[in-house]
Amino acid sequence: MPAFRAIETRIGTELAQFSRYLWAQRVAHRIFDAPDGTQVLVVAREQDVAPVRESFARWRAGELSLEDAAPAPRPAPGRIARAWRAQPVTLAGILLSVLGAAIVMFDTRLEWLRWLAFTDFRPLPGGRLDFESVAATYARGEYWRLLTPVFLHFGVLHLAFNSLWLWELGRRIERARGHLTLLALLVLTGAGGNIAQYLFDGGVMFGGMSGVIYGLLGYAWVWNRVSGAPGLVLPPGLMAVMLGWLLLCMSGLVEAIGFGAIANAAHGAGLALGALLGLGAALLYSRPPDPQP
């Protein structure tokens, strides 16, 4: 490291305590015996020379208590801070879903909802909605609408179900494959599922994170079986349960018993897109070479 002489004193002067103080102050330094018979303390930054000399003089004069002057240790980050650092994309998706559910619940004049739906609309008497064409909406450059419906949730159970599975699947992928991978999966499977749902149902109100959930499931399942890399650990039997639920929803039974309309096209498209992205990532994955014997 660069060396700037800060202190020269006779050999035998005990500097260990003063050195600990300097490290506590984050002052990089080292101590050595010089050929001229002196003990030298050098610092890495020239701007530290004067403060170190002043502190050393005060310490020798009894004006500085090194124990009291050392900074208190920084508190360890709390559980929320650690969780946010580990999986920010997952938590951001959940928070945006909560915000979307609040908008659906409290935006009675539909002013915010109009800007988040897949296409613009105008309210009609009797609670009906007249949706604008895709060409008219996207000709204005409102491309955020390709994604924003995934954050709209129609009821507490809808929000709770999707948030639970986003937490379970999203955080596993984010920790194992990184923040950008999860962000790309959310955007691509979300937008793809929304497009598929619009092509299937046309101008109706739809939303929810379910297409993304199935996309994450498809990605993780294919990655585990093709990549040869450390697996994305999934709860046992999850794929079978989720596929069973998908088929049950597609049968129309869930909607018939009063659970409301189900965005089946978004679910299926999300699953297919996630599986394709998992296959592409697995094929591109480069495993480290085996160690030579």
Which residues are designated catalytic?
Answer: 210, 267
Question: What's the rounded Cα separation, in Å, for the pair 198 and 194?
Answer: 6
289, two tokens: 């070479």
Question: Could you give the C-alpha distances from 147 to 28, 99, 143, 214, in angstroms and in order?
Answer: 50, 15, 8, 15
Tell me the torsion sign for CA atoms 188, 191, 193, 199: negative
For residues 42 and 3, the answer to whether their CB atoms sit within 8 Å is yes
Question: What's the rounded Cα separation, in Å, for the pair 96 and 190?
Answer: 13
Question: How many other CB atoms are there within 10 angstroms of residue 143's CB atom?
Answer: 10
Residue 2's contacts (CB-CB under 8 Å, 6 or more residues apart) are 44, 45, 46
Question: What's the rounded Cα separation, in Å, for the pair 75 and 213?
Answer: 36
Give phi and psi for 188, each to the nearest 5: -70, -45
For residues 140 and 154, the answer to whether their CB atoms sit within 8 Å is no
The DSSP result for 8-70, as a single string, is EEETT---HHHHHHHHHTT--EEEEE-TTSEEEEEESSGGGHHHHHHHHHHHHTT---HHHHS
